Each structure stands twice: as C-alpha cells, then as structure tokens.
Amino acid sequence: MRVQGAVFLVAGGASGLGEATARTVIRRGAKVGILDLPDSAGQRLADELGELAVFRAVDVRDGPSVEDAVDHIIGALGEIDVCVSTAGIATTHRMLTRTGERFPPDLFRRTIEINLIGTFNVTRAAIGSMSRKPARSGEERGVIIHTASIAAFDGQIGQIAYSASKAAIHGMGLPLARDLGPVGIRVMTIAPGIMGTAMLRSFPEDLQARLIEDHIFPRRAGEPSEFAELVCTIVESEMLNGSTIRLDAAARLSA
C-alpha cells in the first residue's frame, strides 16, 4: 500500500505522536481523519492541514461514539486504508506506597479503558470500513498500527497499570493479524521508548536527562517525526505483519 492517496484514521491525532503522523502523511499526499477529545487542538490542526484533513471529537472509551465518528470521516474522505492508534495516557502509582496507600482501582480501570479498550474500539471501527472495500484474492485492504511502549517489556516502578495496558496491546497484535490476514488486513505494533513529546518537554531538564540514560545510541529522546516515518515504512512494506517494533535506541529500562 502507498501512503500517497491513502485514507488514514489517527486516534489521538491532535498532539504528540498522532499529530506528527497526521502532518507527515498529509505531506506525502494522504488524507487523514483525526480523532481526539473535544478540548484538544484537533480542529485547529485539521484546519491547518487543509481540506484533506477532518477532525471528530470523541472519547475512545465510548465504542458507539467512535463508530459514529469514523462513519463521519468515511463520509468526508472515503473508506479507511490505514488506522493508527496513538490515543493513551501515562499513569504512575505504586501498588503500595511508603505511607501504606494501595493502588486506586479507578486509576487502574481508567488506564486500561483509555489505552487498551480505546485501541480496541478504534480498531474495530476501522476494520468495519476496511473490510467493505472490494479486493481481489491476495490484495491488501488495510493496515492497522497500534502503539504500545517499551514499558510493555521493561515496566518501571509505579507503571503497573500503564505496563499492563501496553503489554496487552502488544499481545493482541499477532492474534489480530491472524484474524484479519484472510481479508487482506495487516496489523503491526510500535513500542516507542522515551519520545520528545510535549509531555517530556514539560519535565525539568535533569529529569529528562535521567529518562534517556538507558538509551544506548543515539543518546537522546526520539522525535515524534521518527515515529511517523516508521508508520509510513510499515504501510509501504507489505511483509511487515504481526510484529512489534521497538523504537527505543536499544534502551532497556531500569527499575
């Protein structure tokens, strides 16, 4: 599949990795439907990107609302070719703190609902569109790209909920690829390391430096544009399927 001319659906597309993906694919001649929260910068971004970009406000935890938002995007841009899920939150809390406080159940539930169930809801809606497209036997219908994290493999202290959600995203990649292979849909997962998003830049410089100490080479945070370029590579490389790619400068997180 070529990026040029394809219709992308980017969940969490108003900022960070999703915004970089939306900008990159528009430059390469694609169309993009952006999903993000009502108070996000999604509409401003779509206006900036032009007539080939459409924004719909949605909470990815709400399956029926996601379906409605995707239907709107299909009506404006056409059936979905590529679905990129980047919507998510990073939460930290120890199971048991030094003061004896246990992990809040609502925080665990919210993390799983946004990161994991949200990814499922967006994927389910996109697959409905991809599977409607006519295709000859052996012809590709679509590409699904999920966002995990290296915390799925090297979860740090306080990342119980976050690591669990991202490990589950990694875990569903291969069975989903096996489910969808017969209808010509590929599934890949990207597991980023420390990325230079607004969240990282909001931290003090000494904390930013500590976060990238585990990077082997290059010794810096990854750029959102590098995530976006990997998305494009996956889209255009048909043999990439059912795997997770670590985008992490060979980092292995310490406790």
- In sequence order, what DSSP letters do the residues of the chain get, joined into one string? --STTPEEEEETTTSHHHHHHHHHHHHTT-EEEEEE-TTSSHHHHHHHH-TTEEEEE--TT-HHHHHHHHHHHHHHH-S-SEEEE-------B-SB-TTSPBPPHHHHHHHHIIIIIHHHHHHHHHHHHHTTS---TT---EEEEEE--THHHHPPTTBHHHHHHHHHHHHHHHHHHHHHGGGTEEEEEEEE-SB-SHHHHTS-HHHHHHHTTT--SS-SPBPHHHHHHHHHHHHH-TT--S-EEEESTT-----
Q: Which residues pair with 145 in a beta bridge?
A: 84, 188
Question: Is residue 252 annotated as a catalytic residue, yes or no?
Answer: no
Choose, from 8, 55, 120, 162, the residue flagged as catalytic: 162
CA distance 213 to 218: 11
CA 197 to chain centroid, in Å, comes to: 14
Residues with catalytic function: 162
